[in-house]
Structure 1
Amino acid sequence: MCTKVAPHNKEARDAIRKTWGKETMVLGRVVSHYFLLGRTKEEDSSDPLEQEILEESQQHHDLLQSDFLDCYKNLTIKTMVMFKWLSTHCPNTSYGMKVDSDMFLNVHNLVNMLLEAPLHLYMTGMVVKGAHVIRDNTSKWYMPHSAFSESIYPPYTMGLGYVFSLDLPKKIVEASVHVEAVYIEDVYVGLCLRHLGIALTDPPNSHLFRTSMPYTVSNCYWTSVITTILDSAGQLLDIWEKYRTAVGNC
């Protein structure tokens, strides 16, 4: 599992380490977790935060840092770094997952789903189909005609959290040579998959990957999903306790 996180956001990393990030053996399967981050400033290793990150890495051995400016516009770079690293460092791994740092992740449900999943050419998550390209230049997701001329995006999985078989990273990296980059990273992965002629797979249940919590949430909700977006690291710590209680009761 690879979690994208800003260099300064140690609070989120520590919250994950105390919750779903400590799930390393689930249903007889080994689960590994790493945090993906770039640089705090371009070509500046003197930033005090860089020294703190180095010390954190030496303590936890779970940081993957690459040499690019860590910002929203560079999320596609971050994603391709992830795919390239996975393709070269995980030869005996069956599946990978990209997940954002503000997510609750039910690792047990994830592994249980993957026990029945295809081992090749497989990617699933919250699959988006028929999404219109946003041309409003005030939007966070603005896409100019010069970058992408089509009016509808190809199918893609929302970047909040998606899962894939480990034969895909190398193929996606190779496809990226032929696919013009766009800064919306999950859309770009969808463009690469379209170039490869690989279709996305819908999850076995549509409720497994959620963008947000329902208005009313029981504790048993957390045992029924794989991902849900949260508001803060503190909320994750609170929800993790509810989840652990619900595991025995729901």
Structure 2
Amino acid sequence: MKNIFVFIHVFYCISAKLTTRSTCKDCFGKIHTQEQLQLVKQPLIINKNQACQNEKTKFFIIVKSGSFQRRNFTRSTWAQEIIEHFNVPVLYAIGYPQDSAMQKEIIEEDEKYHDLLQFNFLESYYNLTLKTTSVLVWYDQHCSKNSDYLFYVDDDVLIHVDKLILYMNQVSNNDTIEGWFEKSGKIQRKGIGGVSKENFPINIVPDYLWGAAVLYPSNIISNLLIKAIFNTTIPIFFRDDVFINGFMAEQAGIKRKHMKGILTHDQTEDDLKTNMIIIDFKNEENRQKAWNCYKYNIQCNKNLPLLLFRIFAGISLFIVMIGSCYKYFTSTFYYKQLKHEFDFWYYTTNQWFKQNMNLTLMRNRRQYSSRGIQKTMLGVQWLINLRRMSKRIVLTFVFIILFYYFIKKLVNS
């Protein structure tokens, strides 16, 4: 029986290799043909069509993956938590490996974890639109009736599970997709994510969501998004975030908005403690450190020079803002009125204070040494000149508060 199972897998693998071509010949065109788009309708090499039929769930997670190491890291961190504690299904969407010898390892991986969806096209950065479309079609066929939302994420994100569950319990949008929101702008023409004007003549990209973490309502997938993809006349651009979450969403009339709690990674912050989803890690080491800090309170960021620079920059900006506000206020009628009232109060109080202080010193001259009298007079003079020092006192007080706040935050981390 096992030999038959392996034979079927090998048959699909050979079929995928023979029928699939890389969409990136010169790594610049990056446009799929309608024929290539039909690959998403082929039978899966590894399927999980029973994954959603056991019970109804609020949402279903599919991880867009191309790396065994990142899948394993995800399995051992947030995915393990959300499966064990909240019974949320998690699957990993992959393509056929560029090195066919790795297919045996993929089969063994699925036999061990039972969580792979393998589609019948090459695993490639330039096949992202094919992969995302395949995921949407598969989810629509097998899961949309028993799940309200598809949460589609990259394999290099980190998720604060408790905050995600709380967010999903409160979310109620059925006409909006959510993720990292990017405003409309010019399409990228250069670099790894660029496309030539010859292949893609449209210059302006509509508002879209980054592909790192996107929440799709099930009814949008079924009724709008898939239809738009297969009926579009727009060139099928390989970047799924721009093409599907931008052009196709716009064409289908789907709203897009920023998901609260999603943040790009900052090496100077322990950001998973205070946010829900962290994306855009530069390397696996940073992701490991961020998880260790969140989960075990170790390897937390202590970049003291950069932290002090940010404190100094923040205080400087605050001083500039206060100075600008003060300069504006001094030009108003209210300032002149207040200054007149204060000057009058200061003059009368100063005269009274000097008279009483001189009288007090004369009566108690025998009890004070000359040095003590001088110190007292200096203290009195400082109080008299308080008006001149008010700005410095306020700024010093603000500096102390800010310094205490940031140092406390640094120590606690």
TM-score (norm 1): 0.84
Equivalence for 2:238: 183
2: CA distance, partners of 1:94 / 1:119? 10
- Is residue 2:273 matched to residue 1:202? no
- Bigger mean CA offset, 15-24 vs 221-230: 221-230
What SS does structure 2 have at the residue aligned with 1:124? strand
Q: Residues 129 and 243 of structure 2 are in contact (CA less than 8 Å); yes or no, is this contact kept in structure 1? A: yes
Matches within 5 A, 1:35-184: 35-41=92-98, 47-90=100-143, 91-136=145-190, 139-170=191-222, 171-179=224-232, 180=234, 181-184=236-239
1: CA distance, partners of 2:140 / 2:278? 24
1: CA distance, partners of 2:181 / 2:199? 23
2: CA distance, partners of 1:108 / 1:142? 37
Q: Deviations over 1:127-147 (max 9, x none)?
A: 1112211223xx112122244
Q: Deviations over 1:162-206 (max 9, x none)?
A: 112122222311111122311111011121111111111232x4x
1: CA distance, partners of 2:193 / 2:185? 12
Q: 1:13 aligns with which of 53, 71, 91?
A: 71
Q: Deviations over 1:81-105 (max 9, x none)?
A: 1101111111211211121112112
Gaps of at least 5 residues in structure 2 are: 1-60, 298-411
What SS does structure 1 have at the residue aligned with 2:147? coil
2: CA distance, partners of 1:66 / 1:13? 16
Equivalence for 2:318: none
Structure 1 residue 29, shift from structure 2 partner? 5.0
CA RMSD of aligned residues (A): 2.2
What SS does structure 2 have at the residue aligned with 1:81? helix
2: CA distance, partners of 1:132 / 1:80? 24
1: CA distance, partners of 2:161 / 2:153? 12
Structure 1 residue 155, shift from structure 2 partner? 1.0
1: CA distance, partners of 2:89 / 2:178? 19
Gaps of at least 5 residues in structure 1 are: none
1: CA distance, partners of 2:156 / 2:147? 25
Structure 1 residue 222, shift from structure 2 partner? 1.1
TM-score (norm 2): 0.53
Distance 1:31 1:135, change over 3 A: same
Q: Work out the percentage of aligned pairs sharing the same amino acid.
A: 24
- Bigger mean CA offset, 236-245 vs 72-81: 236-245
What SS does structure 1 have at the residue aligned with 2:94? strand
- Is residue 2:249 matched to residue 1:193? yes
2: CA distance, partners of 1:71 / 1:130? 26
Q: Residues 23 and 31 of structure 1 are in contact (CA less than 8 Å); yes or no, is this contact kept in structure 2? A: no
Equivalence for 1:241: 292
What SS does structure 2 have at the residue aligned with 1:167? helix
Structure 1 residue 234, shift from structure 2 partner? 4.7
Q: Residues 65 and 71 of structure 2 are in contact (CA less than 8 Å); yes or no, is this contact kept in structure 1? A: yes
The one-letter code matched in structure 2 to 1:172 is L
The one-letter code matched in structure 1 to 2:272 is W
Which protein is richer in helix relative to its size?
2
What SS does structure 1 have at the residue aligned with 2:71? helix
Structure 1 residue 25, shift from structure 2 partner? 5.3
Structure 1 residue 110, shift from structure 2 partner? 2.0
2: CA distance, partners of 1:135 / 1:119? 34
The one-letter code matched in structure 1 to 2:71 is R
Equivalence for 1:32: 89
- Is residue 2:279 matched to residue 1:224? no
2: CA distance, partners of 1:223 / 1:94? 27
The one-letter code matched in structure 2 to 1:168 is I
Q: Residues 130 and 154 of structure 1 are in contact (CA less than 8 Å); yes or no, is this contact kept in structure 2? A: yes
The one-letter code matched in structure 2 to 1:97 is F
2: CA distance, partners of 1:229 / 1:210? 8
Larger radius of gyration: 2
Structure 1 residue 117, shift from structure 2 partner? 1.6
Structure 1 residue 235, shift from structure 2 partner? 4.1
Q: Residues 184 and 208 of structure 2 are in contact (CA less than 8 Å); yes or no, is this contact kept in structure 1? A: no
